[in-house]
Amino acid sequence: MSDQDPTERYPGPETQGQEQLEHPGLSREMDQHPDYGEDTYRGIGKLTGKRALITGGDSGIGRAVALAFAREGAAVLISYLESEETDARETARLVQGAGQKAVLAPGDIRDEGHCDELVQQTVSQLGGVDILVNNAAYQMSQSGIADITTEQFDRVLKTNLYAMFWLCKAAIPHLSPGSAIINTTSIQAYQPSPQLLDYATSKAGILNFTKGLAQELAPKGIRVNAVAPGPIWTPLIPATMPPEKVEQFGADTPLGRAGQPAELASVYVFLASADSSYITGERIGVTGGNPLP
């Protein structure tokens, strides 16, 4: 595979097809291990001295972001579900390997009190909070609206929307000029799949929330932006999609493959750093060529 040709940089969908029966899925149980940037990301100190809170930091995009942040000089608090403990410890090992402090914070962000506690833990154990990354999400593919239960709809919105609201509300009093909030939306906010109706709805809400909050916080020197991934190869995919969808995951993009978590990390670093000081209320798409409006 070529490091230069983006269509060949990573394996195509024909190498996928694995199914994990338990949600949210674990990175260590994947046959095709995602690339988190362990061997490729090189930091140059863009986030030196910063303190970051990252939800869903155990694996997937969250792990790649935690690793990149640490290699850029930031200490990291990693939020995750207790069932993801083994993956979270691996993320912490990578952060510590970059010479930065890693704080493990298990718990369910569907609980407002836990969201408040995450911010307080970041402040008490890292000395403050400069970057909030709302990345954790829940999805479960269904055949249509008839199969989306109220329980599932509630879990999706509580994890994806409510937690972001609670975390932002708790973190803002601790943020100062130069701080950044980065939310993870999705191509689903623009191109909703019927099988992911509830998830797509939540991701559209995240996009609008980002734009509105950015306008409120801009005069305070706090920037709010979003990243909109397309199909990214993470443990969430084999754990929440049927095998036939997993096998072709990412094949319909112009680049012909799914993206890897490592291919998003530098975008989060950019939005967290002074490199993007004149950008707020925006979203950056990482979609493999699928156009966003």
Catalytic residue among 36, 199, 268, 278: 199
199 catalytic per annotation: yes
Asked if 127 contacts 121 with a C-beta cutoff of 8 angstroms, the reply is: no
φ/ψ of residue 202, rounded to 5: -65, -35
Give the residue extent of every domain in the chain. Answer: 50-286
What is this structure's pTM? 0.92
Print pLDDT tens along the chain (293 aa).
457 899 988 877 655 455 544 555 555 555 677 999 999 999 999 999 999 999 999 999 999 999 999 999 999 999 999 999 999 999 999 999 999 999 999 999 999 999 999 999 999 999 999 999 999 999 999 999 999 999 999 999 999 999 999 999 999 999 999 999 999 999 999 999 999 999 999 999 999 999 999 999 999 999 999 999 999 998 767 766 777 777 778 788 999 999 999 999 999 999 999 999 999 999 999 999 999 99
* Extended beta strands in the chain, E state: 51-55, 75-80, 102-106, 131-134, 180-184, 223-229, 283-286
Choose the CATH number for 50-286 among 3.40.50.300, 3.40.50.970, 1.10.3720.10, 3.40.50.720. Answer: 3.40.50.720
